[in-house]
Structures are given as structure tokens and as C-alpha cells.
A and B are shown apart, each in its own frame.
Chain A
Amino acid sequence: MTFKNLFIDHERSKEEEEWIREELAEQEQRFAKIDRQMSDLAPARAKWYEEFFDRISLRGFNADGDQKVKIKREDLPVKPEGREDRVVWKYGVDGE
């Protein structure tokens, strides 16, 4: 989080510390549920990827605004061998 506006230093009460601990524990559960749901969505997503490849090769890829570029079929990417289809990354580049 880098909004970088002012924060005024202060002492957190025990009550506040406990509240944050509880919320973070619930957030862990929320994240785990989302991660499962997004794994379950993989078969539908595989179909969406193929439809996306069809659209950008036949109608165009939005390169900038409404400027569309048709991507040759031979220039479409292939899934790297052994790589799972993953869309949820807990802390992005900091957590992997």
C-alpha cells in the first residue's frame, strides 16, 4: 500500500490489536475460498482463453484504446509446459 499520504503515529490499544488479528484470520479464510473457487473455474477459463485467441486473431487485439491489431494465429502464445493455469497470486511478486 503506497498511497503515501499522512499517517499520524499513535499507540494501538489491545482492543485494536485483537480486532486486527481477528480480521486477518478471517481474511486468510476468505483468500483460501477465493483461491479454491478460481481453481474450480479453470475449465470455463480454458474455453474463454480460446475464444479470446479467436477474437484477437479475427477481429483484433486492443493495442491502445480502440486501435486493434489482428494477431496471426502462428503468433499466439502456447501454455508453457508444466505450468498450471493460475490467476490468484496472494501477494503478487512479493509472495511467490
Chain B
Amino acid sequence: MARPHIEPFVDRDVTFKRMLLPGFGRDMHYKMLSMDGDTGACTMTVQLDGGYSQPPGFSWSEWEIMVVEGELQLDDRTVRKGHYFFVPAGYAMPAIKSEQGAIVLMMYNTGEPSLVEATEHHHLAHTNLYHDVDSYLDITWVPGNIVKPAVASGVMIKLLNYNPISHAMTFIYCMTPAFYQDNISYHDCAEESYHLWGTSWMMQFGDIPTGGYFWRPAYINHGAFASEFGCIALGRVDSKLFNYFHYNPWSTPQENQTRAAARVYQRDPLLYKWMVSHSHNHPHGPEDFEQTQKLRGPEFPDNEPETDGHKHSHWHTHKHHHHSHD
């Protein structure tokens, strides 16, 4: 049943275990941070011993990697700490090696870890979604107030991945030294964080140091927040992030959820009324016509463009009228 609330957990408190699932190299060790009991989706701190090698291949699950320490070699590329990969399900990665060893975060989003040896992508892979980046050197920090109501100044983020349908995000964030934010927050989404370096504090859970982790289901109170000396962390949300702020530390997730619905009613009353009146027989939500509409498909007749893609025939056509100025 989904992932349970794991907060706080510090991976330094447990030892690595050898990865025994088929496909992976023998010199892979892991610490499980959280796992979805239904799907096997999970987040792990992974240690690749010096000399680690795994063949080219794909996973049945979408997955993400963040290099925490050390280096990886992918064919003739070397990537270092801070390098991030978003890998769609079925996307064939090249052989991965680590000559000197590495610590990485591995996040399997839609199924258990798997590696099927292959040099070509699975035919269902959404290969266009693949991307990777050196998040430390090739992305600049921006203020963390990407959503309103916003976090206080002193939180900075770098967005690593964004799902335009679910609004799920992966990002790194930092808190400046002496950061504090005096409110209690909750969200409509699950939230996950791994402290790459440094310590932050939350009023419910105390200090989260380097290696500290949480997976927090929706609507659970967290905050006030502070970081005495600053920190940097990898964060994820599994759908749209909206900050509900308040100052009642004793509210329950159910009360928070009800309040969130009340806020939707206050903000979007027409939408709320329609949703409530159509709430039956839609276990997967209302129909999104964009996902169900009939498409032309490859056999559609006369499917070639008729213009060069620059034409706007409705625009001014440069007809010149001559007027008498007498």
C-alpha cells in the first residue's frame, strides 16, 4: 500500500546490503530508504564499489539517478557528483562503470529496480523524455518561491525534472545558514528529500543531518523550519506542490485535507461544485479530453502540411488604399 511515512531516517545509521536482483553488477550495495508495497517503486542510497560494471540495458520502471560522491563512466563520458539522470522506462542506457567507486541515489518511480540487458530502447520507451545534467555546475540557483504562497527567502532551488501532466518535480534545494521559516506546511502531494550535505530542522521531527531522508505522504504537517549552518538536498514531489501554511501543530492529515478542499471551494467555487456533483463513478478522475481524443494517426489522408508553417493569412495583407486628403 503506497509508501509509508518514513521521517526522519538517516542512512548513516544502517549498513549497505549487497544487491542481489538480476542484471545488476555484483559490486552494487544499497540502503533502502523507502518502498511502495504495491509497485516495488523505491528510493535507495547505492554504493558502487571501485571497478563496478553493469551492461547496457533498460529498466521496466522510470528511474532517476543523482551522483552523490565519486564518478561514473558511461561509454566515454565521465560524470561526477551532482550529475542527474532522468531515464524513462524502456530507455536503454549504455554500460555503466565506476573505476574508483561512487555513491548514488537511485529512484525507481513506477516499479521495482530492474535491468534488462539491451543496446536498443524498448519500443514503448518515451525516449524523448530522457535527459541528464550536471546539476552542480550547469544549472544556476533560483529563488525557491516558485509557488505561492511561497517559502521564505533563503531557500534556493534548481529544477531537475518536471512532469507537465502530474506536475511532479525533482529538484535540488538549499537553505542558507541561519535560515528559518515560522509556519507549519502541508501539501496535496507526497514529498521526498535526501540531505546531500548539512542539517536542517523541523519542529515535528528535529534535526535531519547529512544522509537524512524522508518520504512524507500528503497532508502531514511539517515545519516550522530552520537551518543553522545551511544544507543542500535533493527533493521530489509526486504531483503538484501547493503550500498550505498554518500555525496549528495538532491538526490531523484528515483535517488538513478537509481544509485544502475548503480552500479549493473558496478559490474555485464553480469548479468545486461541478467536481462534487460529478464525484460518483469516476475512480480515475474526470475525462481529460486531451488524453482520450481521437488522433489523426499515421494513416490519415493528405497529412502533409500545406504551408511553410510561417503563414498567417488572417494578418494584414498589405493592401494599400489611396485616400484623398483634399
Contact = CB atoms under 8 A, between A and B. Distances in A.
A joins B in a complex: yes
Interface of A: 1-10, 12-13, 15-16, 19-20, 23-24, 26-27, 30-31, 34, 38, 41, 44-45, 48-49, 52-53, 55-56, 59-66, 68, 71, 76-77, 79-80, 83, 85-96
A83 B35 CA distance: 30
B88 A31 contact: no
Contacts of B203: 45, 48-49, 52
Contact of A55 (B5, B22, B182, B204): B182
A7 B89 contact: yes
A22 to B, nearest CB: 10
Interface string B235-256: 0001100000101111011100
B220 interface: yes
B211 interface: no
B219 A15 contact: no
Interface string B49-87: 000000000001110000000000000000000000000
B149 A6 contact: no
Interface of B: 1-9, 20-22, 32, 34-37, 39-42, 60-62, 88-90, 109-112, 114, 122, 124-126, 129, 145, 148-153, 163, 165-166, 168, 181-183, 189-190, 203-206, 217-221, 224, 238-239, 245, 247-250, 252-254, 257
By DSSP majority rule, is chain B's interface helix, strand, loop, or mixed?
loop
Contacts of B39: 1, 7
Contact of B22 (A7, A9, A15, A23): A15
